[in-house]
Amino acid sequence: MGELRGFLKYNKKVSGYREVKERLKDYREVIKRLPQEELTQQAARCMDCGTPFCHSFGCPLANLIPEWNDAVYRGLWDEAYDRLELTSNFPEITGRICPAPCESACTLSINDAPVSIKEIEIAIIETAFSKGWVVPQAPRRESGKKVAVVGSGPAGLAAAQQLRRMGHQVTVYEKDNAPGGILRYGIPEFKLEKTIIDRRLEIYRQEGIEFEMNVVVGEDISARYLRRKHDAVVLALGCRVPRPIPVPGSESEGVYFALDYLSGATKNLYGELSDREMVTAKDKTVLVLGGGDTGADCVGTANRQGAKKVYQFEILPKPTEWDKSWNPEWPYYPKIYRTASSHYEGCERRWQIKTKKLYGRGVSIEKGIFCEINWSKDSAGRWQQQEIPDSEFTLDIDMVLVAAGFVQVEPSKLLKDFNLQLNERGTINIDEHFHTSAEGVFAAGDAVSGASLVVKAMNQGRSLADNVNEYLW
C-alpha cells in the first residue's frame, strides 16, 4: 500500500491549467502536469482500501488503481504501467478527458479530498511512452481468424486491439479521414491533442491492425461482403444522431449541432477542411444551448476562434454549488455545479432558461426569445416546467450551437443490410454476449448503450472482444 496515514500527511494537489490569456491563443492542451516527486506524494495518499471503490465502483474499466498507485509510490513506474496497461487500451486519452468517476468514488472522497487518480494515470502512461515501454504486443500466435471492426471510436479501438492481441487479424473501417471517431473529431484539440491519438495508433499499426479509412460500410462496401470476408464483424458505430431542440426557428442558418461544429474546427486545424468550409465563431455572438461538457467544449472552441461574446444556456436548474473537497454524493458522480476550463475563458452561463424562438432573417440567425422557467413535480411525480411570468427576454445572437446530447445510432444502409434490430431508444440490441440479431455481428459502445463516457465504451469494447474471441474459437 501507499504510505500508512499518507492521506493525513499530504494534501491533495492538482496541476491546474495554463494561464487563460496564454491558452486562448492556441489550441494546445490547457492542462498542466505535476512533477514526478509530487506524484509520489499524491500516490502515498492512497490507502489501498480493502474495498477500493475507485476500482470496483467508480471506474467502468475496473482499472487497478490501488495497485498502480502503490507502484508509483514505490517509484516502480514500470510496474505501475504494467498494471495500468492490463485494463486500459489508451490511458493517455482517458487520463486527459475522463471525468474521473474513480475520484468521486475514492474512499477519501467521503470526508476528504480524493487521491489524484487522473493525474497519476496520465503520469504513468506518459512516463511509459517517454521511456519506450509502450511497445507493440503482437500476438504470440495467429488464430487465422479475421475480424472487421466498423467504427474507430473508443469502443472500436479497444475491441480492435484486444482482438488483435488474441491473435486475430483485425481490420478497422472508418468513414472519416483518420481513426479515432469521437475522440478525434468530437473532443477539441485543447483537451486532447490529436498527436496523442496518432501515437497510439502507430502502436496499433505495428501490432498489425489494418485501418481502412474513408470507407462507409454499407455503401462503399456491402455489409454482406464485409460479413463474408470476415469471421466476425464488430459494429462500434457510436450514437451520432443529435437531440434536436423543439424550438421554432431552430432550422435556421447559423444554428448548428455541437458535434458538427467541433469536428469542423478540428478538421480545419488538421487541414481536412478549408477555412471557407468551416463554421467559425470569429467575431460572433455565440449562444451554446446545453450546459454539459460538449457545451463547454463549444465555449472553448468559440473563444479560441475569436467569438465576440459567448452565452451558455441550460434548461435545467443550476446544480448545487459545492466548494468542499469531498463528495456529497459519495460514491456516485455528484450532481454539483462544475466549471470547466473553457468557462474560465469567458462565457455567460445561465440556467433554467427556455429558448422560445429563434429568428433568422435571410441567411443567418439574428436573435432569440427566451424565458426563465421553474421546475416542479406534477401529481404523477414527473418534472414539469413552468414559465416564470414576465421573465421573457430577447438576445441578439449570430450563431447557436446545440449541445443537447444524442439520441440514437445514425440510420444507415449498413444497419438495414444486416437487418439489425434496434430498440426503442434507437440503439442496437445485443444479447449478453454482445451478439446482435445478425449472426456473427457484434456491437458495443454508444451504438448499444447510447452516448456515454469514453471509459464505458472502452470497457464494452474489451468485453466484446472476449466474447468475440470465444465465438471464434
Partner 1 sequence: MNIHTGLYDPSFEHDACGVGFIANVNGEKTHSIIENSISALINLEHRGAVGGDMKTGDGAGILLQIPDEFFRATVDFTLPTAGTYGAGMFFLPPEKKLLKKSISLVEEATSEEGGIFLGWRDVPINTEALGETALQSLPTIKQAFFSFEGAQGEILERRLYILRKTMEARAENAGLDINSFYIPSLSARTIVYKGMFVSTQFTDFYPDVTDHRFKSAIALVHQRYSTNTFPSWPLSQPFRYIAHNGEINTLRRNMNNMRARESSISSPYFGEEIHKITPIVNPDASDSAIFDSVYELLVQGGRDLSHSMMMMVPEAFGSRYHISEDKRAFYEYEAAIMEPWDGPAAIVFTDGTRIGATLDRNGLRPGRYVITKSGQVVLASEVGVIDIPPEDVIEKGRLAPGRMFVVDTEKQRVIKDNALKASVSRGKPYRHWLEKNRIELKGLFGLPSPAHLDKETLSTRQRAFGYSIEDMVDIITPMALKGQEPIGSMGNDAALAVLSDRPQLLYDYFKQMFAQVTNPPIDAYRESLVMSLMSFVGRERNLLEETPEHCRQLKLAHPILTNDDLNHVRNTYIPNFKVKTVSILFPRSEEEKGDLQNALERVCSEVEAGIDEGCELLILSDRNITADQIPIPALLAMGAVQQHLVACGKRHLSGIIIETGEAREVHHFATLVGYGASGINPYLVFESLVDLKQRGYIPEDITIEEATENYINAVKKGLLKVMSKMGISTLRSYRGSQMYEALGLNSEFMSSYFPSTASRIEGIGIDTIEKETIERHTSGFRFDEKRLDHLDSGGIYRYRKNTTKHRFTPLAIIKLQEAVRTGSYSAFKEYSAEINDIEHNLCSLRGLFTFKDADPVPLEEVEPEEEIVKRFASAAMSFGSLSEEAHTTIAIAMNRLGAMSNSGEGGEDNQRYEALESGDTAVSKVKQIASGRFGVTGEYLVHAEELQIKMAQGAKPGEGGQLPGYKVNDIIARVRHSTPGVMLISPPPHHDIYSIEDLAQLIYDLKHANPKARVSVKLVSEVGVGTIAAGVAKGKADMVLISSGEGGTGASPLSSLRHAGSYWELGLSETQQTLVNNNLRGNIKVQVDGQLRTGRDLVIAALLGAEEFGFGTVTLVSIGCVLMRQCHLNSCPVGVATQDPELRKRFKGTPEHLMNFMLYLAREVREIMASLGFRKFDEMVGRVDMLNMNKAINHYKAKGLDFSKLLYQRDRQESVPIRCIEQIKPDFSTTLDSRFIKEARSAIENHKPVHLKAEVRNYNRTIGAMLSSEVSRRYGEAGLPEDCIKVDMKGSAGQSFGAFLAHGITFTLEGEANDYFGKGLSGGKLIVYPPAESKFLAHKNIITGNVNLFGATGGEAFINGTAGERFAVRNSGAVAVVEGVGDHGCEYMTGGAVIVLGQTGINFAAGMSGGVAFVLDENQLFDTRCNLEMVDVEQITEEKDEEFLKKYINRHIEYTGSRHARHLMEMWEEIVPLFVKVMPLDYRIALMKAEGEAKQVQGVNNG
SS (H, E, C) 9-29: HCCCCCCCECCHHHHCCCCCC
* Residue 7 touching partner 1 (CB under 8 A): yes
Contacts to partner 1 from residues 108-137, by CB under 8 A: 108, 110-112, 137
Identified binder of partner 1 from the candidate list 46, 64, 192, 245, rule CB under 8 A: 64
Toward partner 1, which CB reaches closer, 140 or 382? Answer: 140
Contacts to partner 1 from residues 318-347, by CB under 8 A: 331
* Residue 101 touching partner 1 (CB under 8 A): no
* Residue 47 touching partner 1 (CB under 8 A): yes
Cβ 161 to partner 1, closest distance in Å? 11
* Residue 102 touching partner 1 (CB under 8 A): no
Task: Give the C-alpha separation, 46 to 115, whole Å.
Answer: 6
* Residue 285 touching partner 1 (CB under 8 A): no
Cβ 151 to partner 1, closest distance in Å? 23
Toward partner 1, which CB reaches closer, 111 or 384? Answer: 111
Give the distance, in angstroms, between the CA of residue 41 and the centroid of all CA atoms in the same chain.
Answer: 29
DSSP secondary structure of 343-371: GGGS-EEEESEEEEEEEEETTEEEEEEEE
* Residue 183 touching partner 1 (CB under 8 A): no
* Residue 469 touching partner 1 (CB under 8 A): yes
* Residue 53 touching partner 1 (CB under 8 A): yes
- Which residues on adjacent β-strands are paired with residue 376? 384
Q: Which residues contact 321 (CB under 8 A, 6 or more apart)?
A: 336, 337
Identified binder of partner 1 from the candidate list 34, 115, 166, 401, rule CB under 8 A: 166
* Residue 83 touching partner 1 (CB under 8 A): yes
Q: Judged by CB under 8 A, which stretch of 22-30, 159-167, 362-370, 438-446 contacts partner 1?
A: 159-167
Using a 10 angstrom Cβ sphere, with 0-12 exposed, 13-18 middle and 19 or more buried, the burial of residue 151 is: buried
* Residue 374 touching partner 1 (CB under 8 A): no
Contact 472, 232 (CB under 8 A): yes
Task: Give the C-alpha separation, 448 to 311, whole Å.
Answer: 33
Task: Give the C-alpha separation, 364 to 366, whole Å.
Answer: 6
Cβ 13 to partner 1, closest distance in Å? 19
* Residue 56 touching partner 1 (CB under 8 A): yes
Q: Judged by CB under 8 A, which stretch of 89-97, 139-147, 152-160, 347-355 contacts partner 1?
A: 139-147
Cβ 162 to partner 1, closest distance in Å? 8
Q: Where are the alpha helices (DSSP H) in 32-132?
A: 36-44, 53, 65-73, 77-87, 91-97, 101-105, 117-131
Question: How many other C-beta atoms are found inside a 10 Å radius of the C-beta of residue 240?
Answer: 20
Cβ 460 to partner 1, closest distance in Å? 15
Toward partner 1, which CB reaches closer, 35 or 50? Answer: 50
- Set of cell numbers at residue 331: 460514491
Bond before 331 cis per omega within 30 degrees: yes
* Residue 55 touching partner 1 (CB under 8 A): yes
* Residue 140 touching partner 1 (CB under 8 A): yes
Identified binder of partner 1 from the candidate list 75, 244, 248, 306, rule CB under 8 A: 75
Could you give the angle at which helices 36-44 and 65-73 cross, rounded to 10 degrees? Answer: 120
* Residue 167 touching partner 1 (CB under 8 A): yes
CB environment 21-60: b (16+ within 10 A), e (fewer): eebbeebebbbeebeeebbbbbbbbbbebeebbbbebbbb
Identified binder of partner 1 from the candidate list 165, 227, 240, 343, rule CB under 8 A: 165
Q: What does residue 418 show for φ and ψ, rounded to 5 degrees?
A: -80, -5
Task: Give the C-alpha separation, 9 to 44, whole Å.
Answer: 9
**Which residues form the interface with partner 1 (CB under 8 A)?**
4-5, 7-8, 47-53, 55-57, 62, 64, 66-67, 70, 74-76, 79, 82-83, 86, 107-108, 110-112, 137, 139-141, 162, 165-167, 331, 469
